[in-house]
Amino acid sequence: MKSSLRCRPRLHLFNVVMLAAMTLALLETKAHSQSLAQTEPLTMQGDIASELVENVDRFLLRQIDQSVVEREAAWPVPDKQVDGKVDSISARRELLQKQLGMVDARIRNGAFAIESRLSAVAGKSSALASSDYATAHQVRWPVFPGVDASGMVVLPERANIRFCCVLIPDAAQMPEQLCSMGPNASDLAFQLAHQGGLVIVPSVLSRNREARNGRSKMTDQEFIYRSAFVLGRHMLGYQVSEAMAAIDIFKKENPDTPILVAGWGEGGWVALHTGAVDERVDATCVSGHFGPRERVWSEPIHRNVQGLLSHFGDAQLAAMIAPRHLIVDAIAGPAVEIPGEGGAPGVLAGPLLSEVEREFLIAKRLAGKSNHGDRLHLVVPDSETTNGEPSAKSISLCLDLLSVKKRTENAKTQVADRAIEQLGPAKQRQRETLDKWDRFQQRILESAAVERQPFWDKLKGVAANNYLAAIQPARDVFRKETIGDWERELSPLKPRTRLIYDKPKWLGYEVVLDVFDEVIAYGVLLIPRDGKPVDQRPCVVFQHGLEGRPADTILGDHPAYHDVSVQLVEQGYVVFAPQNLYLFQDRFRTLQRKSNPLGRTLFSILVPQHQQIVRWLSTRPEVDAKRIGFYGLSYGGKSAMRIPALVPEYCLSICSADFNDWVWKNASTTSPYSYVWTNEYEIFEFGLGRSFNYAEMAALIAPRPFMVERGHFDGVAPDERVALEFAKVNRLYSTILKSPKDCEIEWFDGPHTINGKGTFDFLARHLLGFGSIAGQSIEPK
């Protein structure tokens, strides 16, 4: 007894220690259960989706800033060899024309046709205005088949033509306003003609802003930009082509006469690019425009040029003009603020003199590599005010550089009676300019499939077992030129997880992964709780649509998703619901605006995010790495066409509520289904009309199983357009791949929503039974 009594204090102490150890172990177990094994606890607070978007924004702004240094460092030294090729200015000029969408052959044997509306009155001249030395007339000249440019021509006396000039108005100006007619009229064109200039003043696309088809409000410029961008063209390229077509005629009729191209505001924008592209221009005057372009993403969207900042700022365009003359007129341009209201918001301001001087110094250094820095001239006007035209000081310098001996006598201009009336209403003529380019683009849209035909021609006769090798070059083009590749090494995954759903049939974890730099991937992983071992399960990555979140696909019976992620996890799949970037409206749309000038898109971020997602899923014991499928609705369906094409670890793809004739939907101005009318100003991708419609994208996914889920009453497109595009995919799987069962479409009686019948059968067949390509790599060996 004594002995046992003496032992009690020790037993009591032992029990206390054991109890503490057990309590600590329980606490550790509880804490551990809040995150997945082999991951760190997720401690991020607040809205992770918002932080994801903010991080991408910071990354893009840093890349834009870095592009200034990279452009200057990469500028070619004359005759320098890069990878065995001469990296010449000529190659840059060809690249610039491609970026401006200048792919259509101009009419080269045209002539100026003076319109003679006034000559119908007996004994009257067609001149709308005149001076002692020149007359002004309405004029047309051919640019492309079926497309004429129009504007004003100011003709000096034939014997006195000493130079030819394209004088380009700002988007708020009509041509006659630079020819002494109309409100806020300037006599600049007559001043130039008085000095012996044959002056063409083209009509340009205007800043007129109105609701299109009764829907989104946008300028004429944005209206044309939208279709053009998708078709691989650009409204800037159109306006440069009009100027070049005029120069074609100048050179045909006056071959030895020097050429001046000048413009203020957006006219200066067009003039700068014309001078850079066309080596026949002897002097280029850029007024109220020249400066840094690092905020082009905040300018009106028609100034968005895919890939421009990867190679060209204003300094590089200036250096391309040398050894010809460039006159930079450091005067203020137009002050413009365009609100959203369905169109893209944008601002034009400045440029500030300090900004002009900084960009000009870069241009001088670049031109100096060829010993042509002295061909660039900076003019600082005596007054900071502007009347909507290049300063007198800059025009005087232009004439000096062209060796034009100046006349000093004054010449008074007279405007003909009823001249403005005979011109016709300005609004009507603006509409004519808009309509001609719209008609041109709709003709291009009609023949866009012909431009894409070489894609299919290369697949003719390809055996199914050689398909991957045959399609790989197209996939490379899609990755580098259409989507855009940051070419960055992916970061270690560093997975962080946190339990957020604890349901009887499944668990849900928030997941954050590193991608590169500060870019992260984020989503929710659902794991079955069905009483069976959860190992090596098939996995479905379900992608939400526009303005969506992973939670929308999980609980709450959202009318588009119907808790599809939960439906799938309760069928036994592991499900991952990623957060995509298309959230917060203008916040994500500006990500596209910031990506485009660098030759990238939203999907340049989304693709590596998904590469990390499947890379991580493939490490999880719950997931069979060979059975990870992609299923997306709406904007997620858009993702289903692009991401699996470039992420080979996805073994199948299902496009729900999105598949259609995508080029037509983006570029048509006759269809009520078109994105031309909507507020999705970021949706347009450069050059798809010439390269990849949805059938071509599906061909990049092949030979993996591919399915379309389509409701008859889905407002994405009419059934006929969906069927027409899908028929091309079906033909590929049937005739080349010899696997028609791997390509399906389900039509159902419903709207823009998950149906979850045919697609669930498709998943069961290919992920549970796993079809005919189990274990294959989709990359060529």
**Of how many residues is the chain composed?**
781
pLDDT averaged over the chain? 91
* pLDDT number for residue 774: 32
Using one digit for the tens of pLDDT, what is the confidence trace for 582-613? 999 999 999 999 999 999 999 999 999 999 99
Is 203 or 13 the better-scoring residue by pLDDT? 203
pLDDT band of residue 82 (cuts 50, 70, 90) is low
> By C-alpha distance, which of 740, 736, 779 is closest to 460?
736
Three-class secondary structure of residue 5 per DSSP: helix
CA distance 199 to 52: 53
**Dihedral angle, C-alpha 14, 16, 17, 23, nearest 10 °:** 140
Count CA atoms closer than 13 A to 636's CA, side-chain side.
29
Q: Confidence band (pLDDT; 50, 70, 90) for 231?
A: very high
Question: Residue 412 has what pLDDT?
Answer: 81
pLDDT at 739 over 90: yes
**Mean pLDDT, residues 507-516:** 98
Q: What is the mean pLDDT of residues 77-85?
A: 63
Predicted confidence band of residue 86 (pLDDT cuts 50, 70, 90): low
User: What percent of the chain has a predicted confidence (pLDDT) above 70?
Assistant: 92
- Per-residue pLDDT tens digits for 631-675: 999 999 999 999 999 999 999 999 999 999 999 999 999 999 999
- Determine the 3-state secondary structure of 531 from DSSP: coil
Q: What span, in angstroms and rounded, lies between the C-alpha atoms of 263 and 274?
A: 11
Q: Write the DSSP assignment of 289-340 as a string of letters.
A: --S--TTGGGS-GGG--TTHHHH--HHHHHHHHTTSEEEEE------EEE--
pLDDT digits (tens, 9 = 90+) for 374-386: 999 999 988 766 7
For the purposes of burial, counting CB atoms within 10 Å of the CB of 88, is it exposed (0-12), middle (13-18) or buried (19 or more)?
middle
Could you tell me the pLDDT band of residue 173, with boundaries at 50, 70 and 90? Answer: very high
Q: Please give, one letter per residue, the 3-state secondary structure of 257-299.
A: CCEEEEEECHHHHHHHHHHHHCCCCCEEEEECCCCCCCCHHHC
Mean pLDDT of 543-570: 98
Confidence of residue 770 (pLDDT cuts 50, 70, 90): very low
Q: 67-71, 93-97, 384-388, 397-401 — which is least confidently predicted?
A: 384-388
Q: Are 685 and 601 in contact (CB under 8 A)?
A: yes
Q: For 697-706, how does the pLDDT look when each residue is reduced to its tens digit (9 = 90+)? A: 999 999 999 9
Beta strands in 450-593 (DSSP E): 496-503, 506-516, 519-528, 537-543, 574-578
What's residue 159's pLDDT?
73
Residue 79 has pLDDT above 70, yes or no: no
The pTM is what? 0.92
Structure-token match 């866009």, residue found: 448
Identity (one letter) of the amino acid at 562? H
Does residue 80 sit in helix, strand or coil? coil
For the cut 70, the answer to whether the pLDDT of residue 84 exceeds it is: no
In terms of Cα–Cα distance, which of 638, 164, 149, 128 is closest to 418? 128
Spatial strand order in the sheet of 706-711? 40-41, 496-503, 506-516, 519-528, 574-578, 537-543, 623-633, 653-656, 706-711, 743-748
Residue 26 pLDDT = 36
Q: What is the pLDDT of residues 319-344, one digit of tens each?
A: 999 999 999 999 999 999 999 899 99
Question: Number of helices (H) and strands (E), helices first, in the chain?
Answer: 24, 27
> pLDDT confidence of 407, banded at 50, 70, 90?
confident
Q: Where are the beta strands (DSSP E) in 336-447?
A: 336-338, 346-348, 376-379, 414-415
Task: Report pLDDT for 408.
Answer: 78
Q: Would you tell me the crossing angle of helices 48-74 and 314-321 to the nearest 10 degrees?
A: 20
Task: For 671-718, give the secondary structure using H, E and C.
Answer: CCCCHHHCCCCCCCCCCHHHHCCHHHHHHHHCCCCEEEEEECCCCCCC
SS3 for 542? strand
Check residue 77 and give its pLDDT.
81
Mean predicted confidence (pLDDT) in 123-140:
86
DSSP letter for each residue of 166-224? EEEPPTT--GGGGGT-STT---HHHHHHHTTEEEEEE------EEESTTS-EEEHHHHH
- Taking the C-alpha atoms of residue 31 and residue 498, their distance in angstroms, rounded to an integer, is 10
Q: Nearest-CA neighbor of 267 among 311, 209, 305, 221?
A: 221
Q: Do 717 and 673 meet the contact criterion of CB atoms below 8 Å apart?
A: yes
Angstrom distance (rounded) from CA 168 to CA 242: 10
Measured between alpha carbons, how far is 686 from 481 in angstroms, rounded to an integer?
9
Does residue 682 carry a pLDDT above 70?
yes
Q: What is the pLDDT of residues 473-488, one digit of tens each?
A: 999 999 999 999 999 9
Residue 21 has pLDDT above 90, yes or no: no
pLDDT at 124 over 80: no
Structure tokens at 39: 């991951």
Strand partners, 507: 502, 527
CB distance 72 to 362 below 8 Å: yes
Q: How far apart are CA 649 and CA 391, in angstroms?
A: 60
Q: Tell which residue, 555, 552, 559, has the closest CA to residue 580.
A: 552
Residue 83 pLDDT: 62
* pLDDT band at 767; cut points 50, 70, 90: very high
Let me know if 306 is exposed, middle or buried by CB neighbors in 10 A (0-12, 13-18, 19+). buried
CB burial readout 752-781, b (16+ within 10 A) else e = bbbbbebbbebbebbbeebbebeeeebeee
pLDDT range class, residue 4, cuts 50, 70, 90: very low
Which residue did the predictor score with more confidence, 412 or 47? 47
Predicted pLDDT at 776: 35
Burial group, residue 7, by CB count within 10 angstroms (0-12, 13-18, 19+): exposed
Res 31: pLDDT: 41
